[in-house]
Every structure is written in structure tokens, then in C-alpha cells.
Amino acid sequence: MSERFIFMRYRTDCYHCKQNADQIISAVPYQAQVVCDNCGATRVFIPRIEDVSIEGEYIKIGCYDLWKLIETAECRNCHFTGPHNLTIGCRHFTVRCRNCGFTHFYKFDLEYIAKDEPKT
């Protein structure tokens, strides 16, 4: 079963270990994840049905920059393989097909650290 939808790496400063490290970004229809390759800090996002945008909800102290990325994927709506816009913030994760505009919305669900000790 090939459920892989988005799988990419993005090198940036990790919000957790503060190192410049690959952040491994993956998404399938029912879940999205961002994992730090250095310290294992993992953020899990789950789909949300309604797009409730509460202003200020996304603003948190210690929040890193919003990531705006582009990755090639096969759209689950129009089945065209082409560029998708990814927008990843502290509290949300969206993937939008640039061909048809179909958008997956995810919201932040939980966070954990996969490994015990970050490299220092």
C-alpha cells in the first residue's frame, strides 16, 4: 500500500536542539509529521475538517518561522503529479495542489522526542 504523499527534507534551525539540521517532513492523508534528524524532536499533525482560523492561535512564544516550501507530489484529488505548496507553522500544516487548488489541512496534535539525548 503506497500511502506516501509528501516526503522531503528541509534544513533549518531546529526549534528544539537549536542546531541547523534536516527536518524530515512527511505527510499522508491521515497524518503529517516533522522530525528533526539531529535530536528526534517530532511534531505530529492530524487532519482537521473545518478551517477555523482564530487569529492569534498560531502565535506562540518560541515559535519558529513559518516554512513555505514546494514539493512535487501526486494530488489525491486531480491525480496530477506536480508542485504542491507546503505551509508549516507551529500549530498547522497545509499542503495545497497548485494544479487544482485541493488543500489538505492538518492541525498540531502532539509532540515527542524520539531519541534520548540530543547531540551537543
Site of interaction with Zn ion (CB under 5 A) = 14, 16-17, 36, 38-39, 41, 75, 77-78, 97, 99-100, 102
| Cβ-based nearer residue to Zn ion, 8 or 57 | 8
| Cβ-based nearer residue to Zn ion, 3 or 119 | 119
- Rounded Cα distance between 64 and 102, Å, is 26
Residues 6+ apart with CB under 8 A from 79: none
| Cβ-based nearer residue to Zn ion, 52 or 119 | 119
The DSSP call for residue 66 is: P
Identify the bridge partners of residue 88 per DSSP, sorted by sequence position: 67, 93
- C-alpha torsion sign, points 22, 24, 25, 31: negative
- State the minimum distance, in angstroms, from the CB of residue 31 to Zn ion: 20
- State the minimum distance, in angstroms, from the CB of residue 21 to Zn ion: 5
- State the minimum distance, in angstroms, from the CB of residue 15 to Zn ion: 7
